[in-house]
Structure 1
């Protein structure tokens, strides 16, 4: 099994979510994250005033999948999340050693 962690732009999340649904990814976790990278922060406008922000707001998706499906999931996220500009995000693929579904006690790939 693999755990895929993908950090994507807020503006591209809907496209990434829809693309994952098309290939059968039924579940993933999502969290708001902040980072600092090549963009060096952003400018935010609030009630007409411009503020410099030292961080960049992004979303992190955590997806568990089979070894065979991992490459397809990565490709889909890359295609749907890419704008071609600095700050499109990162994808990390990790080995998931053990997974247990709490409700049923299923383990391994069946738990995903």
Structure 2
């Protein structure tokens, strides 16, 4: 199993959900985030009201788990559908998952995803 952590533009969430659904994955966690990378962000007026000069842009953090055999296809689809070709499109982080457990029943392994 692989954990995919994606930081994307908020307007790209529906595209990401369609990619996952097309590959028969429905489970995901989404969190609102703020950040900047090479694009350096812009000074947020809301923070300036507080006397802070913070150059962050709104992003979404999405986490999901996929099977090893589906990873490359999903990553390719992400590049195709989520890329605008501009700085600030986001990042994808992939890591190994050893096991998974459903809290309600204690079930573990492949069947619970």
Which TM-score bucket, shorter chain as reference? 0.7 to 0.9
Inter-partner Cα distance in structure 1 for 2:108 and 2:6: 24
Give the alignment's TM-score, normalised by structure 2: 0.83
**Structure 1 residues not aligned, in runs of 5+:** 47-51
Q: Does 1:106 align with 2:107?
A: yes
Q: Compared with structure 1, are the counterparts of its residues 11 and 43 closer, same or farther at alpha carbon in structure 2 (3 Å cutoff)?
A: farther
More strand by share: 1
Equivalent residue for 1:83?
Answer: 84
**Structure 2 residues not aligned, in runs of 5+:** 47-52
Runs of 4+ in 1 over 2 A off after TM superposition: 42-46
SS in 1 for 2:61: strand
Q: CA deviation at 1:96?
A: 0.6
Inter-partner Cα distance in structure 2 for 1:30 and 1:18: 14
CA RMSD between the two structures: 1.9
Inter-partner Cα distance in structure 2 for 1:27 and 1:7: 16
**Given that residues 28 and 63 in structure 1 are in contact (C-alpha distance below 8 angstroms), is that contact kept between their aligned partners in structure 2?**
yes
Q: CA deviation at 1:93?
A: 0.7
Q: CA deviation at 1:78?
A: 2.0
